[in-house]
Amino acid sequence: MSDSADLRMVLGLLRRQIRVVLATTASIVVLTSIILMSLTPRYTAQALVVVDTSAKNLLSPDTTPVAAASDNARVEGEVRIAQSDAVLLDVVREEKLTDDREFAPRSGYFDLAATLARFGGASSGATDAGERETLASFKEAVRVRREGLTYLITIGVTSRDAGKAALLANRVSSVYIRQQIDAKVAGTIAARNSLQARVSAAKDSLASHEGRLNAFLAANVGLRDPSGNANLGLRVADAQFDQRASQPAGTPPPPTPSETLTQFYSLQQSAEIARAQYQNLLTRLQDFEAQASLQLADSRMISEALPPIEPSYPKSVAILAVMSLVALGFGIGAGFLREFFVGGFTGEDQVAAVLNIQLASVVPHEEGGELERPHGRGLSDRIMTAPLSVFSESIRRIRASVEQALLDRHPVLEDARAEGVVIMVSSSLPGEGKSTLATALARTYSLAGKRTLLIDCDLRKPSIHRHVDREPTPAFVNLLRGEADPGLASMVAVDHATNLSVILGARPAEFATDELLMSARVRALLSRARLHFDYVVIDTPPVEAAVDALYLARLCDVALFVVRWARTPQNVARKALAALKGNVGGGTSVIAVLNGQDQRRWFSFRARPPWRAAYAG
């Protein structure tokens, strides 16, 4: 049952605030559409590049590639390299983006200073500044990302032109791959240059060792055999033996053959080692020279960027769909805000919670409202024509609430009261139905056999005479303005439908009425009325429209404060009620009446209770 009531509350709120909801929603959607139409569409083209982290050597194709343990860091590093300034700056220069309106620097004071500096001989600095600004603009259009944990890298470029976006995406990819090859070639060439110095040193060392070997051979055998023939050792030994045999007596003996051979083999081995080192370095140098021309990039493009068909920005359909939901949420929020904070009251509990006073009754809305009936007569006629209607029952509920308030304040039975009761009916704003309710309440008392007087104290806009179908008379206003008292009987008119006594107001006053209603004549009139009538009902101006009701509140026993269903602003009602409470006496009860509840739809805020439907006339 609670869920059903909550659903009816929400549906009723939406129906009452449908204009606010639709206006807010439409405003946000229209504003979003205007913004989307004013935006320049942009297209994003993407090229797909794969990174091969394995080692590649064309001179040793049989080498088994071994994956490094840091492949993940390697791929992440390649992503940073692809969007580095070095790569993008080459694209800026090759594509001459400094002359492109989309990426070129904006004209301004800096360009004027650069132009003046160019005439002063600082053209290179101005160009560098322009390239830096173009590079910064181009970097915002480039997006490089890794596809998950794969070896794939997506290089995307966003531009106003679809073809330009694809061209620049492919160019960034090709420049990135080209610079990768250039870096590997540069590394190989640097290694080759470093090796060339070592080859020259090894060549000099080899020449030195071979020179010493040749000198030894020439000194010992008169031969020079740089080939290092193995039989050369036997020839050296034979030469040494012949030399000792032919040596004259008395001369120092020459070295023995073993010493000569040891020296010879030492020099020969040193020469061979130097020759081997030279040959090894020379081979490595030739390998580096071959590798410099056979380098392969570690990355390759596997899918070139194509001109996109649809713009990547803005996504008009998606944005409009999302903003429509957001706008609807804002619209419903605006409806709730107007309903519960800015707007009017739509529930009995809401009235009691916001105004902190007792709610006497909820009067339903019915067609043919105030002053819409023939001869100007309004809903108050339903007290006689439809005594069992929901409207009539709600008026009787007001009467019961008034009696209960009187008993709570003064526990004296109705028949034992010495004086009549003065009931004031007011509201915060005009058009809330207070005159209709005042007339209907007075008629219920009169139909119940109570001596009842209805006084129209709304001197600025009197309307009671139209409810009772009588011509207005100036007697009451003349009395308040200081003329002779004609007597209570001469001022009272009779409602022919209920025998209700009525003091009518004259035409709308064109003078200040608060001075009249705060005079002693009003107090004296009400004192006499208390003696002759059981109930005196006075219709007063709205509290926010005039101060008249604040003076009359001091003279009444019960003040009925009428608020219009879903129409009286809550802040206005709180302000008016605070002013009214500040002027009533300590024994005066202030009771609220919620007027104009709409029950025409099944999804109204509060459904009609079954007992009301059963007893409706």
Boundaries of domain holding 500: 345-612
Please tell me whether residues 1 and 59 are part of one structural domain. no
* Domain-ending residue, one of 227, 259, 293: 293
Helix (H) or strand (E) holding 594: strand 589-597
State how far the Cα of 287 lies from the Cα of 388, in Å rounded to an integer. 114
Please tell me whether residues 405 and 265 are part of one structural domain. no
pLDDT reported for residue 345 = 84
State how far the Cα of 587 lies from the Cα of 556, in Å rounded to an integer. 9
* Cβ–Cβ < 8 Å for 423, 537: yes
- Output the DSSP codes for 418-456: SS-EEEEEEESSTTSSHHHHHHHHHHHHHHTT--EEEEE
Q: In angstroms, how far is the first alpha carbon of the chain from the final one?
A: 27
CATH number for the domain that contains residue 425: 3.40.50.300
State how far the Cα of 513 lies from the Cα of 434, in Å rounded to an integer. 19
Residue 76 included in any domain = yes
pLDDT band at 609 (very low <50, low <70, confident <90, very high): very low
* Cβ–Cβ < 8 Å for 120, 128: no
Model confidence at 578: pLDDT above 90: yes
pLDDT reported for residue 370 = 46
Which ranges of 97-155 does DSSP label H, i.e. alpha helix?
A: 109-119, 123-141
3-state secondary structure of 71: helix
409 vs 31, residue with greater confidence: 31
State how far the Cα of 49 lies from the Cα of 222, in Å rounded to an integer. 70
Mean pLDDT, rounded, for 50-66: 63
State how far the Cα of 274 lies from the Cα of 208, in Å rounded to an integer. 9
Q: Which residues contact 366 (CB under 8 A, 6 or more apart)?
A: 379, 382, 389, 391
pLDDT band at 480 (very low <50, low <70, confident <90, very high): confident
State how far the Cα of 37 lies from the Cα of 508, in Å rounded to an integer. 56
Q: How far is CA 482 from CA 329, 459, 461, 516, 538, in A?
A: 61, 15, 21, 9, 21
Give me 244's structure tokens. 């000792």
State how far the Cα of 518 lies from the Cα of 480, in Å rounded to an integer. 10
Please tell me whether residues 367 and 499 are part of one structural domain. yes
Q: How many domains does the chain have?
A: 4
Mean pLDDT, rounded, for 119-134: 64
pLDDT tens per residue across span 144-185: 999 988 999 999 999 999 999 999 999 999 999 998 888 887
Please tell me whether residues 392 and 541 are part of one structural domain. yes
Mean pLDDT, rounded, for 574-593: 90
* Domain-ending residue, one of 301, 323, 342: 342
Mean pLDDT, rounded, for 355-380: 70
Q: How far is CA 12 from CA 15, 231, 333, 602, in A?
A: 5, 122, 14, 9
Mean pLDDT, rounded, for 112-121: 50
pLDDT reported for residue 612 = 41
Q: For 246-255, 402-411, 421-430, which range has the lowest pLDDT when averaged over its residues?
A: 246-255
371 vs 448, residue with greater confidence: 448
pLDDT reported for residue 13 = 73
Please tell me whether residues 176 and 199 are part of one structural domain. no
State how far the Cα of 500 lies from the Cα of 60, in Å rounded to an integer. 121
State how far the Cα of 25 lies from the Cα of 320, in Å rounded to an integer. 12
State how far the Cα of 230 lies from the Cα of 264, in Å rounded to an integer. 11
Mean of the per-residue pLDDT values for the chain? 81
Please tell me whether residues 411 and 516 are part of one structural domain. yes
Please tell me whether residues 178 and 323 are part of one structural domain. no
Please tell me whether residues 458 and 507 are part of one structural domain. yes
pLDDT reported for residue 244 = 52
Contacts 24+ apart (CB under 8 A), 274-277: 274/202, 274/205, 274/206, 274/208, 274/209, 274/210, 275/206, 275/209, 275/210, 277/202, 277/205, 277/206
Model confidence at 94: pLDDT above 50: yes
* Amino acid residing at 212: R
Q: How far is CA 382 from CA 37, 137, 224, 251, 376, in A?
A: 58, 78, 148, 167, 14
Residue 301 included in any domain = no
* Cβ–Cβ < 8 Å for 144, 154: yes
Residue 298 included in any domain = no
Give me 400's structure tokens. 């019961």
State how far the Cα of 338 lies from the Cα of 22, in Å rounded to an integer. 13
pLDDT band at 616 (very low <50, low <70, confident <90, very high): very low
117 vs 395, residue with greater confidence: 395
pLDDT tens per residue across span 8-35: 767 777 877 788 899 999 999 999 999 9
Model confidence at 563: pLDDT above 60: yes
Please tell me whether residues 123 and 164 are part of one structural domain. yes
pLDDT tens per residue across span 303-312: 999 999 999 8
Please tell me whether residues 199 and 185 are part of one structural domain. no
Residue 302 included in any domain = no
142 vs 315, residue with greater confidence: 142
Please tell me whether residues 337 and 403 are part of one structural domain. no
pLDDT reported for residue 247 = 54
State how far the Cα of 548 lies from the Cα of 460, in Å rounded to an integer. 10
Residue 434 included in any domain = yes
pLDDT reported for residue 602 = 35
pLDDT tens per residue across span 205-225: 878 877 887 887 777 755 444
Residue 149 included in any domain = yes
Residue 304 included in any domain = no
Name the percent of the chain lying above pLDDT 70: 79
3-state secondary structure of 156: strand
* Domain-ending residue, one of 301, 322, 342: 342
pLDDT reported for residue 230 = 44
386 vs 65, residue with greater confidence: 386
Model confidence at 369: pLDDT above 80: no
Please tell me whether residues 244 and 281 are part of one structural domain. yes
Residue 307 included in any domain = no
